[in-house]
Structure 1
């Protein structure tokens, strides 16, 4: 007889890998924010940066090549450093079902090493997702050329790729916004995306999915849209979903997507009708035959509030092009301070909510709102 009293984390292992300085900083901020049910790894050529990392697993790549002094903004050095340390990287990610690779493209280590890390992960049959940033225009054409080169290399080795142009951070900022606060917004896209997938798989919720569902939507799908939204009040679900599908931090929307993951996190007052109406907005924007994976988790600390994550893949456009956000879907971005405040609140899903005890056999749930038995 099978023992079903298994820790779900034993069944599904998710790891976040920060490459270079930008990726390492993103990992640190996710750890501070309390991202749960994932393992953190940082890889860098800079020994000093590794000493400042809060990740449990730290890999100094290219020790012979760089002597721990960094890649000098040279992506070729970053690539060779990662290749020198292939065995250590493979050992660190062994056992993972899914990895998220994050880096700031345009420098040396992140740009050069991230594609190598992705190639190693894919060769181990691990679902591999890249979430990376592009440089600000003021950082110069040379750095932007390096970033574009790194992105092309990375696309060849990831299942899905989310790109956040740093320039988009300015759309959420005002004169009082600090640079650190701006980067928190970009990191929030990755953090909430990772958390949404982790919650869907590992946290008992009103509606859950399994890893096979996630893999169906994200494996070998190219460029992706990963948007997050927040809503409060009577129209909270619809407000949140509109933010998520037209994120001001991204250059993509979900128009024509053939695969969509949508995850709601709300309080005990989360209404069935408002969730249905919000999910309909996603369904209408996506392809008519889109595979929509839906999840809902109860967080008792939320009062008349909702957090929502939408991940969309499989766009119709050829050559990896995706549509930009449709004007009619756009909303006015909230002040950066308010957005950061909401993103910094830890997500505390509960296991004892009365909604979890519903007899689902007596509830007629549409197929795309199904729960994994």
Structure 2
């Protein structure tokens, strides 16, 4: 029987709590991957342990967890179940950004954070289909807007309470304007569409969410910006969100490394085996170092284009190293890694998702090159 989750650990020991959750759900990981079904047990266990309100400041009713501690907890979850770790990271960054803004900018986000803490809500990101351009249409009506859009990669939407998203309003004075808002999944016109048939991270339940003429009141609009341009809000999002997200991928890589070394230690110690183990260790250290750099940038540097460029570089390096770690783990094990039962094949598929979050490598190189040449961040 798996260990029951306890809450008598120090509330700051989020990695230990993540380890307990991971042990509880480890036996379900392969089944969810096989079925392509959502990791509901993982989300319920995380919710019971307080993870969904961890990053909310204690002054607002949350648990006041340290940002780095939550990154490390997501990484630990990733060693057990990449899908649970990744889907949870999407909620986490939606809390981390307003929590940072509340502390450092006195942003008027107190009401939302208090509500998430009090009701233990699960926030769902639509960032994969929005990013700088956004998508969808917001039409002005009395008291608000009517929004129609399709949002893809909505990880965890089966258990989501609020979709945090955006749409484009054709403002008669300012022209196309992206509106940022949240809508309840219970709102009329919101529906989930079962589309998540994918290579890896199958348990994240990252289905489409369709908004059909959904009413969004004026008071729900929390930000407005020009589409396609870097805005201060996105400098916050990029630096704070992706260390949380990529902690999941480094966790997947770490789990693959541990499994491969466990198997290799029982093999004859040939020269080729030791070299393969060394290559694995080099790749994994690069993943750790790059992720640590991402977290440090988020913790210590001021928002802006320079920080975003450095975070984007670390983002690309973490992606490359996490993928390389799993590849090296499979090379160390050899042909047996092709069999599903070892779990390395699943880790290989799961870690490929690291390639597809913004900014992907080519846009990152362009952004970083523009900054290095003094051209500014926007093309």
Check whether TM > 0.5: no
TM-score w.r.t. structure 1 length?
Answer: 0.30
The structure whose residues are more often strand, as a share, is 1
Higher CA-based Rg: 2
